[in-house]
Amino acid sequence: MKYVDEFRDGALAAKLAAAIAREADTGRDYAFMEFCGGHTHAISRYGVTDLLPANVRMIHGPGCPVCVLPIGRIDMAIRLALSRAEVTICTYGDCLRVPASGGLSLLKAKARGADIRMVYSAADALALAQKMPERDVVFFAIGFETTTPPTALVLRQAQALGLANFSVLCNHVLTPSAILTILESPEVRELGTVPLDGFIGPAHVSTIIGSRPYAFFAEEYRKPVVIAGFEPLDVMQAIRMLIRQVNEGRAEVENEFTRVVTEEGNLKAQALVSEVFELRRRFEWRGLREVPYSALRIRAPFRKWDAEAKFGLEFVAVPDNRACECGAILRGVKTPIDCKLFGTACTPENPMGSCMVSSEGACAAHYNYGRFRDIPVVAGTAS
């Protein structure tokens, strides 16, 4: 298949659904976690779960970069923007709306007078710093391995240019550490409340890191991983490949997304990232708590462009809103409709938690593509 339409072909999807139904053993259940928010989005958008037999269940994982960012990291940016008049914070649009402490978000802080701007890329933030030498421009960087190389590149450019009014508040996180944390979580290991038979491996992330880093999960934890593209037929084919592995008692890394992902990944991007970043000992994730060696910080030669060092910023952990189930959803323990606020107090227009903010978040994907209809609606009659 060469064109995107072919990966969305309804007739092919029906054939694939029939093959999945044939191959799924009716005597057992299958539970697969799609790690990546892009897959969550595709599954909701194209109604993939409706095409699966009842004994094949998809579990949303912590693969949405906006969703896994803890409140305390957003608070750091808000505190900086509100306390230093010379600072301009730049970040991606979704980050602006994530609820933070004290009823604030970056967007609400902007309404209070902070200079906070939306950018489409790290390069936009760097360009803004060049355009406004009188301002101190801070790029609030988030994301998994996919968005890390562009951040590394701007840090190297800032160093080469000697651009003193630019810095990065680094929140980049690592996919394999999050998968490991899920596999080591009590819900998976001890309680069995999250039965996991395998993973759909992320698409974009794997273009950078390749398929090799997942071999550990297949070998050590006996969990099959199938890396898949973002189109509905990609996801369905990956589910079929996972079912086959489970049926045959195999636990291997397979690559459905061969048109883009290789075993070794993008070596140039990996070299750039390791030149600029090093591992953080600890980093807090929303829903997963502190995960050792799960995030990146800026290396010493680039310290002048590290906003945490430049402005003496400290992370303060903040508990999530107790009514919001984002944490449990990100661990695969609950689904969006298990949250009392879903579709009532919490909607994409008025998000109460991070999973409703980004279109890749489980709650937003579920809401935007009509999965909220799973909720029984009781219609009253006018008297």
Instruction: Please report, for residues 139, 245, 294, 327, the alpha-carbon distance to residue 225 in angstroms, rounded to integers and kept in the order given.
Output: 34, 9, 20, 23
Query: Does residue 363 bind ligand SF4 (CB under 6 A)?
Result: yes
Min separation Cβ 359 and ligand SF4, Å? 13
| Site membership for ligand SF4, residue 143 (CB under 6 A) | no
**Residue 287 binds ligand SF4, judged by CB under 6 A:** no
- Judged by CB under 6 A, does residue 63 bind ligand SF4? no
SS3 call for 48: helix
Q: How many residues bind ligand SF4 (CB under 6 A)?
A: 15
Rounded alpha-carbon distances, angstroms, from residue 261 to 56, 202, 207, 332: 26, 10, 5, 26
Q: Is 37 in the site for ligand SF4 (CB under 6 A)?
A: no
Q: d(Cα 343, Cα 367) in Å, to the nearest integer?
A: 7
Should residue 59 be labelled a site residue for ligand SF4 when binding is judged by CB under 6 A? Answer: no
The site map against ligand SF4 for 323-362 (x = CB under 6 A) is -xxx--x------x--x-xx---x----xxx-xx------
When asked if residue 38 is in the footprint of ligand SF4 (CB under 6 A), the reply is: no
Alpha-carbon distance 147 to 35, whole Å?
16
User: What is the Cα–Cα distance from 298 to 277, expressed in whole angstroms?
Assistant: 5
308 binds ligand SF4 (CB under 6 A): no
Q: How far is the CB of 156 from ligand SF4 (least distance, A)?
A: 36
Closest CB 35 distance from ligand SF4, rounded Å: 18
Q: What contacts 197, CB < 8 A, 6 or more positions away?
A: 30, 31, 32, 223, 224, 242, 246
66 binds ligand SF4 (CB under 6 A): no
Chain residue whose CB lies nearest ligand SF4: 353
Looking at the Cβ atoms of 88 and 335, the one nearer to ligand SF4 is 335
Would you state the structure tokens that stand for residue 267, as one six-digit string? 């070596």
Within a 13 Å sphere around the CA of 227, how many CA atoms are in the beta-carbon half? 27
Task: Identify the DSSP state of 56.
Answer: E
Site residues, ligand SF4 (CB under 6 A): 324-326, 329, 336, 339, 341-342, 346, 351-353, 355-356, 363
